[in-house]
Structure 1
């Protein structure tokens, strides 16, 4: 495809700024932009003109329906389609779409997770147009639909979605940032935007194998599976040559995303076999969130076109890398400044240093909330193993920045080190300057040159939660700074003291070493850092007094909304494990146990035949039969034990108690059942084994 064709393709299905400039009257375009840029209330007259232009544009491209596209608290997307048809008095129809229909829709507020905000008899919920995220067209077998990004509220005004709190947090980080920037003389800055780039990891497997495994269909991960002879230990998949079938899939992914205006930039093989990654360019937080939801949807939809299945679970296979979603976060001004760009002389860059120590303070003070937003039943299997960061929150700054802060904290002059050239021993290769720091792949929250990379987040979840938390906690720290600096009689001295005192108070959160080491676990404990191994351990921090006070001050969540989200996360945790446990029992009883009994019977028949034929040495056959029968007996006992625990869980009503029961009682039973099954898999003839093995799934896509 030529550059011209690509430029024509990109954003083809998006009602973006270029389309609005072309189709809207100048006055309407300016008024809409004032709403977007200055946060003004959208006027009904403007919405009416925009709706008409949007309708005409969509119909010209084949659209017959429109939908308010929103993101309920299950982390997915939702849509209810209405046609543009409107009846006339003479029995005909016309195509209509009003400003009222653009601005507001109605959905069932009780049928989505609400954490008690909406009861079954309280069904009303409203979708409200987010004019800061462009509308787009979705093409599928049902035709073409105009999708309007919206927020989702209850009848009583509480947020029922992921986007509303994100939009609130974007406003609070902007307000706090502007206070600091104005104090430092940057009075020409009118807007500060939280920006995000989310790397998306995923697995691709043969669709036939996927359809043969109930665990993948019902839970997204393999609940049984012995390790194959080869895993990822040869390190030959990472950045390796992409197979032709996968390359065709990736090509279609790029084209579909580009049409939707999603700037898919990077694609490559990831570390684990059958694992891959896609990374887009940065966008404002809410647009990046919308785009990531589209990325996940397109990844799975396009997989069907290529007889593949796309797995987004955080840990679909035991023993190899899980999949994360690295959330790269930064702040940008409307004057073109990346606030977290250190510049050539970072020790002299007051803006950078103030915002840097604000992040340090925020992450140290609210590390529990960062850990909480990455918590899920699936991610519990991923964190701390196979290149995923540990569950202990820390910040990687690198030696250069840490050294600068150390010198400032101890009133020492910062001496800039001259960047050395890399010596590669080949005269024809260009000489490159060494980077100021290496990258730390074990850090959950790492500074990577001009942004922070939150690496704990699981691959299947909406990035709205992580973005909301990061915006809110940093806004809180900046607000504290602004209140202190606004009282200062000598601003320069106050800034230096603020940077010094903040670093000294919160330096415990900075760790530039190996996050996988046992020594770090002990050191983190000595530093007083939290280590929440599981979702159940960390979730109560969501409803702590400190958390409720923070979100209330920043006007991101009220107490009702926080408790609702806490309840939803608890419910999701034990419901996920309950489905997994029931799926395990189903597979174990109906597939694995019968296969093992059949195979042991065949071995037994063989032993009997050899006994009747003559005096053969059948020691090996008897030993195999003995191992099989013992394994089958143990497998049956493990099935019964898990079955009993699942039944017992039904009597527990309180959510936290139920979640703890699933963690402490049911998960160990599941792990035990799996270990016996995996042992039997290595004993039973592969022609008899009822499930596609890890070797087949991971190496035959």
Structure 2
């Protein structure tokens, strides 16, 4: 491995590389495009494309690709060679500005929620100059947006960029009221990526893992995570070697991989990068997930990113740490003066208002088939959205709501100028692991995001909702006389904090008492994807997207349809796999073992030893009852699944999958898992949790 600082970013056409490879006038024009959104003329694009090609070829690249994020949630790329043939049998290399700026793809072949038909196939990829190009597997990858021939966004990046623009515009309006005029305001994100690593040999023998990403069957291991010995424990050599390779490749791609450690569950681990601007952070996280999977295979391992690959132990999330800032300050940092702390309270109020008004939309943004198994179980937050502020900040907010804060006091003050308010210091709050949305020092941690998710969705919703709250503040306070501004701003915050007080909760999010209290407060409780997704197209949420210029109604409906279709397809795959595995893998083995026990009983009894065989008889009875129960559960699940498949309406189908098929799957699982406890180990057809989770 090269020196860390020399290795970092070697595969990225970074700002530093641009300065090195581009003429000064070209670099200045490109910087204006990146920083201020200025149009890029073709001459500049041609110069940039040529420099990119020369740089990429110097690093071994032979192809280029527009790298984009279709609504499938993963990334896509089509590779084109730099090579162009001459008529004389020789060749030259070429990469034009036009090829850099725009590419063409078949828009009907990706999930599009009905926006494009097969006969309306044209779609375009458009260069996103704000996210740097990089080399991956000898291919120059150019981050791009993806839109239809008629201009609709067909990807995750485009609405994310729109939401960032909306947030930038409205945050600058608010900061102008404080006499500040930054060039831009951007959300910064750090996503803590959790994952499982298991042996490839065990993975290959588990058809449920191969097909669905999770174990559809499996009794609890003899030892799980109850000894709390894996978390932050010594990393086993096999995993350590994998992590070193992963870090090395991520650093070369300019991804600031910072922290790695064992997570709570056996075989579970975490990688956390340093914060970066949201758009780049999303691209980086997608690359992280891709590299995690690819590099694992080199070490005879398989990386599982499913939110709940193993029943009964911790699932995997992707804690989305979100803050908002300028080049000079984090706007969620408490300040050193009354005015700075008033600014902090204004932005804090906007986030609280946004999360309360659009709690249903935030829940829908993290809804998925996999996340349904995780939310509310084993250290994951509940499906009910709430905000945890910590004791001190809660006290400050309550004082503001109760009218006990003032901006006119002049002695012994630091925050809002009120004697009664304590200093707002960092690192002064405990952590609430059951909170889906927690304030942690100078950022919010959205913990409900699933490990396999593209974090564009959650951040797009959060950006948009906060942008609207900031817009409303600016609309109300612009034009206020300077001498009245602080008092009016504090009054505004007090009023809006009171209106959204219900979203603040510091207690145990797992408790039944909280579920009852949340219902009394009027908070949404949407435990399944089938219940959460319709909120994405609720009238107030469609209005939010339209008002802030983030999604048209057609684009929003498209995303609902795509997510709904994916949920139904995944449930169909899981139910099909489960029935087949129960019939073809588990039931024959259980029957064979029951036959062996029965024959053994018959042989021993023939020898006159019947009195000592009661235990074997009990085992045989259990096996026979278990086979009967499995047969019954297969029949029930098969029938329910066929009924679900026949439903034409996607939402109605999802509700049947969530409320009928899923419980039937749980019943079948329980019946088979009970037999795992009885059948001899040399008969059991697949690696058990003990085998998978505790390898050397």
Range class of TM-score, shorter chain: over 0.9
The secondary structure found in structure 2 opposite 1:318 is coil
C-alpha contact (below 8 Å) 2:575/2:665 kept by paired residues: yes
Tell me the CA shift for residue 346 of structure 1.
7.2
Correspondence for 1:186: 180
Q: Which moved more, 1:239-248 or 1:87-96?
A: 87-96
Correspondence for 2:84: 86
C-alpha contact (below 8 Å) 1:195/1:283 kept by paired residues: yes
C-alpha contact (below 8 Å) 1:397/1:446 kept by paired residues: yes
Correspondence for 2:308: 315
C-alpha contact (below 8 Å) 1:65/1:84 kept by paired residues: yes
Q: Which moved more, 1:344-353 or 1:577-586?
A: 344-353
Correspondence for 1:619: 614
The secondary structure found in structure 1 opposite 2:73 is coil
C-alpha contact (below 8 Å) 2:426/2:441 kept by paired residues: no
2:545 to 551, 565, 568: 551
Correspondence for 1:497: 491
1:270 aligns with 2:263: yes
The CA deviation string for residues 418-469 of structure 1, in whole angstroms up to 9 with x for no partner, is: 79xxxxxxxxxxxxx9942111111100110010100000000101111101
What does 1:148-297 correspond to in 2, within 5 Å? Answer: 148-187=142-181, 189-297=182-290
CA distance, structure 2, for counterparts of residue 435 and residue 30 of structure 1: 41
C-alpha contact (below 8 Å) 1:347/1:404 kept by paired residues: no
Q: Which moved more, 1:688-697 or 1:608-617?
A: 608-617
C-alpha contact (below 8 Å) 2:66/2:125 kept by paired residues: yes
Instruction: Give the superposed CA RMSD.
Output: 1.4
Tell me the CA shift for residue 348 of structure 1.
5.5
Tell me the CA shift for residue 547 of structure 1.
0.9
Q: Which moved more, 1:340-349 or 1:12-21?
A: 340-349
The CA deviation string for residues 93-134 of structure 1, in whole angstroms up to 9 with x for no partner, is: 110000000000111101110000111222111000000000
The CA deviation string for residues 589-644 of structure 1, in whole angstroms up to 9 with x for no partner, is: 11101100110111011011011111432222111111101111111111122112
CA distance, structure 2, for counterparts of residue 76 and residue 484 of structure 1: 41
C-alpha contact (below 8 Å) 2:334/2:340 kept by paired residues: no
C-alpha contact (below 8 Å) 1:71/1:163 kept by paired residues: yes
Tell me the CA shift for residue 392 of structure 1.
0.7
Tell me the CA shift for residue 62 of structure 1.
1.1
1:436 aligns with 2:431: no
Correspondence for 1:684: 679
CA distance, structure 2, for counterparts of residue 564 and residue 541 of structure 1: 13
1:564 aligns with 2:523: no
C-alpha contact (below 8 Å) 1:204/1:308 kept by paired residues: yes
The CA deviation string for residues 236-262 of structure 1, in whole angstroms up to 9 with x for no partner, is: 000011111111111111001001100
1:478 to 460, 470, 473: 470
1:518 aligns with 2:523: no
What does 1:407-446 correspond to in 2, within 5 Å? Answer: 407-412=399-404, 413-417=418-422, 435-446=427-438
The secondary structure found in structure 2 opposite 1:34 is helix
1:657 aligns with 2:652: yes
Correspondence for 2:352: 360
CA distance, structure 1, for counterparts of residue 337 and residue 694 of structure 2: 49
Structure 1 segments (4+ residues) deviating >6 Å: none
C-alpha contact (below 8 Å) 1:347/1:414 kept by paired residues: no
Correspondence for 2:409: none
The secondary structure found in structure 1 opposite 2:108 is coil
2:131 to 130, 133, 145: 133
The CA deviation string for residues 544-591 of structure 1, in whole angstroms up to 9 with x for no partner, is: 111111100111000110111111111111111110011111211111
C-alpha contact (below 8 Å) 2:427/2:441 kept by paired residues: no
CA distance, structure 1, for counterparts of residue 651 and residue 314 of structure 2: 30
CA distance, structure 2, for counterparts of residue 615 and residue 87 of structure 1: 87
Correspondence for 2:629: 634
Tell me the CA shift for residue 135 of structure 1.
0.4
Instruction: Please give the TM-score of this superposition, normalised by the length of structure 2.
Output: 0.96
Tell me the CA shift for residue 278 of structure 1.
0.2
Instruction: Please give the TM-score of this superposition, normalised by the length of structure 1.
Output: 0.95
C-alpha contact (below 8 Å) 2:427/2:440 kept by paired residues: no
C-alpha contact (below 8 Å) 1:404/1:414 kept by paired residues: no
The secondary structure found in structure 2 opposite 1:326 is strand
1:392 aligns with 2:397: no
- Relative distance call for 1:434 and 1:148 in structure 2 (3 A) is closer
Tell me the CA shift for residue 408 of structure 1.
2.2
CA distance, structure 2, for counterparts of residue 414 and residue 11 of structure 1: 49
The secondary structure found in structure 1 opposite 2:334 is coil
The CA deviation string for residues 454-502 of structure 1, in whole angstroms up to 9 with x for no partner, is: 0000000101111101110000000000000014243222211111111
CA distance, structure 1, for counterparts of residue 326 and residue 83 of structure 2: 43
C-alpha contact (below 8 Å) 2:317/2:450 kept by paired residues: yes
C-alpha contact (below 8 Å) 1:347/1:353 kept by paired residues: no
C-alpha contact (below 8 Å) 2:12/2:134 kept by paired residues: yes
Correspondence for 1:698: 693
CA distance, structure 2, for counterparts of residue 650 and residue 540 of structure 1: 20
1:95 aligns with 2:93: yes
1:456 aligns with 2:451: no
The secondary structure found in structure 1 opposite 2:126 is strand
Correspondence for 2:414: none
C-alpha contact (below 8 Å) 1:324/1:458 kept by paired residues: yes
CA distance, structure 2, for counterparts of residue 403 and residue 640 of structure 1: 57
CA distance, structure 1, for counterparts of residue 135 and residue 399 of structure 2: 54
The secondary structure found in structure 2 opposite 1:453 is strand
Correspondence for 1:424: none
Tell me the CA shift for residue 513 of structure 1.
1.5
Correspondence for 2:9: 11
The CA deviation string for residues 120-154 of structure 1, in whole angstroms up to 9 with x for no partner, is: 22211100000000000012xxxx11100000001
CA distance, structure 2, for counterparts of residue 53 and residue 317 of structure 1: 48
CA distance, structure 1, for counterparts of residue 68 and residue 422 of structure 2: 50
Correspondence for 1:379: 371
